[in-house]
Amino acid sequence: MDGSAGTTTFDETFDVIVIGYGFAGALAAITAADNGASVLLAEKADNPGGISICSGGAMRGARDADKAFAYLKETNGGRTPDDVTRVLADGMAQIEADVIELAKVSNATVETTDKAANYPLPGTETFYHSNVTHVPGHDTQEETYPHIMARPSANGWRVFRVLEDNIDQRNVEVRYRFGATRLISDDNREVLGATFEKADGTTVNIKARHGVVLCSGGFEANEEMKAQFWEKAPVLTATSTMNTGDGIRMAQDLGADLWHMWHYHGCYGFKHPDPTYPVAIRVKRLPDWFPGEEDKADVPMCWILVDQNGKRYMNECTPYTQDTSHRAMEFFDTVTQTFPRIPSHFIYDENGRKMYQIGAPTYNQPGLGFSWSEDNLKEVEMGIIKKADTLEELAEITGTDLATLKETLDQWNARFDEGKDSDYGRPPGTMVRIDTPPYYAGEVWPVVSNTQGGPVHNVKQQVMNVYNEPIPRLYSAGECGSAFGFLYLSGANLSECLITGKIAGREIAELEPWDD
Q: What is the pLDDT of residues 467-508, one digit of tens each?
A: 999 999 999 999 999 999 999 999 999 999 999 999 999 999
- The dihedral over CA atoms of 472, 476, 480, 486, expressed in degrees to the nearest 10, equals 90
Assess whether pLDDT exceeds 60 at residue 2: no
Contact indicator for 80, 172 with CB cutoff of 8 Å: no
Average pLDDT over the chain reads 96
Answer whether residue 1 shows pLDDT above 90.
Answer: no
Alpha-carbon distance 497 to 300, whole Å?
Answer: 33
**Where does the pLDDT of residue 431 fall: very low under 50, low under 70, confident under 90, or very high at 90 and above?**
very high
Examine the pLDDT at 174 and tell me if it is beyond 90. Answer: yes
Greater pLDDT, 310 or 3: 310
Give every CB contact of residue 317 below 8 A, 6+ residues apart in sequence.
Answer: 286, 289, 297, 301, 325, 426, 427, 430
Tens digits of residue pLDDT in 210-229: 999 999 999 999 999 999 99
pLDDT at 3 over 80: no
Residue 73 main-chain phi, psi, to 5 deg: -60, -40
Closest CA to 82 of 72, 92, 95: 72
Q: Is the model's pLDDT at 5 over the cut of 90?
A: no
Nearest to 251 by CA among 50, 497, 462, 7: 462
Are the C-beta atoms of residues 116 and 19 closer than 8 Å to each other? no
Instruction: Give the pLDDT score at 516.
Output: 78
Arithmetic mean of pLDDT, 318-325? 96
Question: For residue 382, which amino acid is it?
Answer: M
pLDDT for residue 6 is more than 70: no
Bridge partners of residue 444, in order along the sequence? 344
4 pLDDT higher than 60:
no
pLDDT at 79: 97
Predicted confidence (pLDDT) per residue in 56-88, tens digit = 999 999 999 999 999 999 999 999 999 999 999
List b or e across 44-68, with b for residues whose CB sees 16 or more CB atoms inside 10 angstroms: bbebbbbbbbbbbbbbbbbeebebb
- Cα–Cα nearest to 279, from 145, 148, 437: 148
Cβ-based burial of 453 (10 A; exposed 0-12, middle 13-18, buried ≥19): buried
Q: What is the pLDDT of residue 7?
A: 78
Beta carbons of 146 and 138 less than 8 angstroms apart = no
- What residue type is assigned to position 471 of the chain? I
Cα–Cα distance measured from residue 177 to residue 185, given in angstroms and rounded to the nearest whole number? 23
Residues 374-427: pLDDT tens digits? 999 999 999 999 999 999 999 999 999 999 999 999 999 999 999 999 999 999
